[in-house]
Amino acid sequence: MTIDLDNALTEGAESASRPASGAQRFSPEELADLLGQHRPTEQQAQIISSPLTPRLVVAGAGSGKTATMADRVVWLVANGLVRPDEILGVTFTRKAAGELSARIRAHLAKLARASRHHGLDLAPEALDTEAMEPTVSTYHSFANAVVQDHGLRIGIERDAVLLGSAQSWQLASTVVEAYDGEIWDGFPAKSTLVGAVMKLSGECAEHLQEPDDVAAWLAEEASRLATLPLASGGGRGPASAAAKLVSTLRSRAAVAELVVRFSEAKRRRGALDYGDLVALAARIARDVPEAGGLLRDRYRTVLLDEFQDTSHAQTVLFSELFRNGHAVMAVGDPNQSIYGFRGASAGQLSSFPETFPEVLPDGQRRRAAVSHLTTAWRNSVSVLATANIAAEPLRNSVPYAPKAARAEVRSLEPSPVATRGRVVVARFSDELEEAAAVADQLATFARLREADGQAPRDQSLPTMAVLCRKRSQFVPIQRELERRGLPYEVVGLGGLLDTPEVIDVVSTLRVIADPGRSDALMRLLAGARWRIGPADLMALADWSRHLAGRRARAARVPDEELDAPGTVEEALVEGDIADAASLVEAIDRLPRRDWVSGAGRSLTADGLNRLARLRDELRTLRTLSSDDLGTLIAQVERSLLLDIELAARPGVSLHHARRNLDAFQEAAATFLAQSTSSELLAFLAWLDAAAQEESGLDMAPSEPVPGAIQLLTVHASKGLEWDAVVVAGLNHGAFPSGGNDRWTSGAEALPWPLRGDRYELPQWDADHPDLKGCLEAEKAFAEDASQHAEREERRLAYVAFTRAKELLVVTGSAWSASRAKPAGPSVFLSELRDAAEDYGFEILAWAEDGDLPEENPLHAEPEVAIWPYDPLEGPVDATTGLRRSLAPGRRRPLERAAADVLAALPLNPDEGDEDAAAAGSRTPRAARWLREAELLLAEREREVDDDGVRLPEHLSASSLVALGEDPEAVVRQLRRPVPRRPGMAARRGTAFHAWVEEYFAQSAMLDLEGLDHADEFVDEAYDLQSFVEVFQRSEWAHRSPAFVEVPIETRVGPVVVRGRVDAVFRDADGTWDLVDWKTGRAPSGREAASRAVQLAVYRLAWSRLQGVPLERVTAAFFYLADGRVVRPEKLASQKELEQLIESALT
């Protein structure tokens, strides 16, 4: 069908005066034509133009839900149904919120331009996109805003402290240490008990249960079961199992009592954690009608993204606030509900039509409408078939949850432009064969893709990933990628505290602060830098025991005997004093070169020299231990030579190489901002809590390295996509995992009968007259829970399969190094094999059970290597003496490079006549370089007369701006520098920059935006609160920066220009956006043009740093005094910047 755009626009203009309740001005198709976009599909058009009533949109993976939501907003605004500022969008991460917000803003800006171009008579508010932007937030941020605005109505003060996860862990640990009650079983360590308290506390909040009610319920249930008789005879089996079950319930009741004390401890401190935040917001929504009334008046329509990942408390929050048929559109996919372990439930989405009913004019209620998006725009035809195969059983109802809500989930359909694609299925004998095949498949894909010229013009190399259920499955695949020289990157492996460079820094900090941390010292001793061998380590351990024994005998042994070599008698008592020995002390007080231990061991000369150097280094660092924490960490980094090591990484920019250390510095800044103590030991305790509760802190954001293969878990892959994806390790018991987390098997989960989504879950029927009946019911419950867990794993497989665009490789193996018996194939792998003929999947290999070796082939020849080994070459086989062929050795090329550098330098620069040195001590090439340098220096000297001035080797970006504004003043300042008194504006700007940096650091660490920490950072004398409010209303507050406060430097002509980019954002199309905060007002005229020089320098530096064209980098100022975003129309090129400097010197 063809639409006459001119007629449609004319009719739209003529109908602009219609009331909001009238007929629509523009159809979705007409708007797409107007904005120059692809027309929506029939499904998308129905959703875009749906009435302002509750609606559930079931959107399959890659079906264009974000684009549809953005188009829905534009359609509502264009048709005068709502103003932009009457729209609320909510999603889970700041990254997703930023992407949705950016897309909506871009579409509204297009609408405004099209309106002016075609003379449309749209409402003024539809065109003022800067003043009336939609609100796009995260779920946690929205809950925080509700508590901030209405918490006083339920007794919550506005200055309540929000605890981070690590701080909550520390407080829970204190509560556990002070507990004097009985814990029955299941907690071998304090950390296990603290984890149970944290988990149960979080689940109580997510399901709106009071901890004391949970404790009472559990205690009553345990007492009831304890009084029940056995069915007959008191047999040992049933009696033992019954006693264990009762003990588990009592332990859970004790944990619930600890949760009660944990809640009381938070209350005494005026503190909240994230679970409290959402629970309190839900309570306000339910008990404070005024809150809902105000928000319904403010937001006429609400978009809830990723609704399948919401918890019960979040569902209550929005259903109570936006009740009575308010226009709420929830978008999600129950097949992608994979965060059940965090409290999410696919049932929340399925029950949406009943939870958010439509209210008819006569007051009657009916289920909300349901729409579907089933066209998959991401996947090829073959890849899409695997997703539908995996999801098919999820459409069936389950007998264990007869009351569960069920939303229709339709099969995905390929897009009209979908390619055929490839799916490869394989099962191998062992994990080494599997890893080799994975590496071969990816190498072949990259080679063919490049040879066929299929890569997009702006992407020379394909994107590739390997997804595994567990991180431990990465190891053999990493080795095979290294063996082939294929670049790879492990994403999010264990968190920030598990990255090698951060481990070294933290280990050094521990050694500085605590002489008992011999374990941390071992990390340094055994590392690539010091490489202390086993013989020296054993001798050092002997020396540490010798020192401990000497302390013990000091009161009764004459001083002159203390330094005598060890004796046999000393060796006999070494075991008794081992606990008091410290390797840290041993290094600080090294023995004489002739010392021999009682066991006959001594330190080698080389080992002793290395230890002495390490001793001196640690002593120097200890003198700084009371200094500023950031300064100490930076000095540790330099002492360990990590700055040089990271800068030398081949093929990686310095900024990318340093990202983990920079993130660690930001973590330290967060600790200082949140903690009442700045001591090193307190910081290390905070890191311990973070390692327990936050999986070692969030990793620094990582942009994919071009051509590198990313390795990550399936959970971490959600929301991402690649050209080629390998899903490895599909073995029975691994994926699906085979376990179940039913609440009766542990002591930390909330009992399922108390959960808000209990109708979606299997339940234990404990209403029996005897223990035998209860135990049999629990066994049936365990089977139902296993079935429920497999459905959760099936959703995970669906997510994994739908990450691939063109190639999907799905593999498994029977034997791994850790298995005593071969594993069968995963049910998901078997399903694809069975469907291979019908769908054209390729069977690369299939190891049948009957063909497998009876013994684990990976145990036949254990790998033994000599340690320590050369870090530039890799380990050497202990039996053959040959280097293991992992990655190619680097020592020879590095030594050649070092030799070239040395050959170009003078051999004896301080000896003899300079001319003689130049003639005899330098190579001809070096002498020629020296002569050229002398000529260039002489030429520069001639160009500068007596009254001239030479620019320094380094200039700040602001100095370069000043050169454009008043070069004579800059020259005078350089000729005779005069100190300037810092003005109020400069101090205000510094304070605001610190606030913004901390704001984004908090958000990155916690994935929570909009936290009101103004009281911690804002000095009233600077009047920063007004700037903070302007910033929080701006687009930048809702976007997720890739980097914050990035130092840059780049050469422009004869000088190196240095600066610091305030924030760097990455747009959806890969464009980099640099932003500089200004607390003043936007300039105009010539001043505005000269200010743009700063952005031009930043753009040039970032382009060089990232290796991208200049046109892929944009830049802007954000002036807070008037809330304006200024993007100069033209930024100076490299040549123009060089001309600016040259003109200043002439």
List, as residue ranges, the binding site for ATP: 59-66
**Long-range CB contacts (within 8 A, 24+) of 871-877:** 871/528, 871/531
First to last CA, the chain: 66
Q: Please identify which residue in the block is written with the tokens 């005897």.
A: 770
Token readout for 818 is 């850790």
Token readout for 25 is 């001005």
Residue whose C-alpha is closest to residue 674's, from 996, 666, 172, 259: 666
Based on the number of CB atoms within 10 Å of its own CB, is 451 exposed (0-12), middle (13-18) or buried (19 or more)?
exposed
H/E stretch holding 534 reads helix 534-553
**260: how many CB neighbours lie within 10 A of its CB?**
20
Kind of pairing between the strands at 464-468 and 709-713: parallel
Q: How far apart are CA 189 and CA 167, in angstroms?
A: 20
Token readout for 803 is 């990450």
Q: How far apart are CA 621 and CA 509, in angstroms?
A: 9
User: What string of H, E and C letters represents the secondary structure of 686-737?
Assistant: HHHHHHHHCCCCCCCCCCCCCCCEEEEEHHHHCCCCEEEEEECCCECCCCCC
Do residues 634 and 666 touch, judged by C-beta distance below 8 A?
Answer: no
CA-CA-CA-CA torsion for 430, 435, 437, 441, nearest 10 degrees?
Answer: 160
**270: how many CB neighbours lie within 10 A of its CB?**
11
Beta bridge partners of 1056: 954, 1051
Q: What's the number of CA atoms in the CB half-sphere (13 Å) around residue 61?
A: 31
CA distances from 245 to 184, 375, 772, 914 (A): 11, 49, 12, 89
CA distances from 447 to 247, 450, 541 (A): 60, 5, 52
Q: Per this entry, what is the length of the chain?
A: 1146
Strands (DSSP E) contained in 912-1032 are: 954-956
Token readout for 775 is 């135990």
Which of the 8 DSSP states describes residue 471? G
Token readout for 565 is 């070599």
Q: How far apart are CA 204 and CA 80, in angstroms?
A: 43
Residue whose C-alpha is closest to residue 1128's, from 1106, 1103, 1105, 1097: 1097
Q: How far apart are CA 618 and CA 612, in angstroms?
A: 10
Do residues 483 and 888 touch, judged by C-beta distance below 8 A?
Answer: no
Q: Please identify which residue in the block is written with the tokens 């990035």.
A: 1046
**Long-range CB contacts (within 8 A, 24+) of 293-300:** 295/146, 295/321, 295/322, 296/321, 296/322, 296/326, 298/86, 298/88, 299/86, 299/87, 299/88, 299/135, 300/52, 300/81, 300/82, 300/86, 300/87, 300/327
Beta bridge partners of 422: 807
Q: How far apart are CA 137 and CA 97, in angstroms?
A: 6
Annotation: binding site = 59-66
Q: What's the number of CA atoms in the CB half-sphere (13 Å) around residue 1096?
A: 22
Alpha helices in 1072-1120 (DSSP H): 1085-1106
Do residues 1028 and 1014 touch, judged by C-beta distance below 8 A?
Answer: yes
Beta bridge partners of 1124: 1119
H/E stretch holding 1066 reads strand 1055-1066
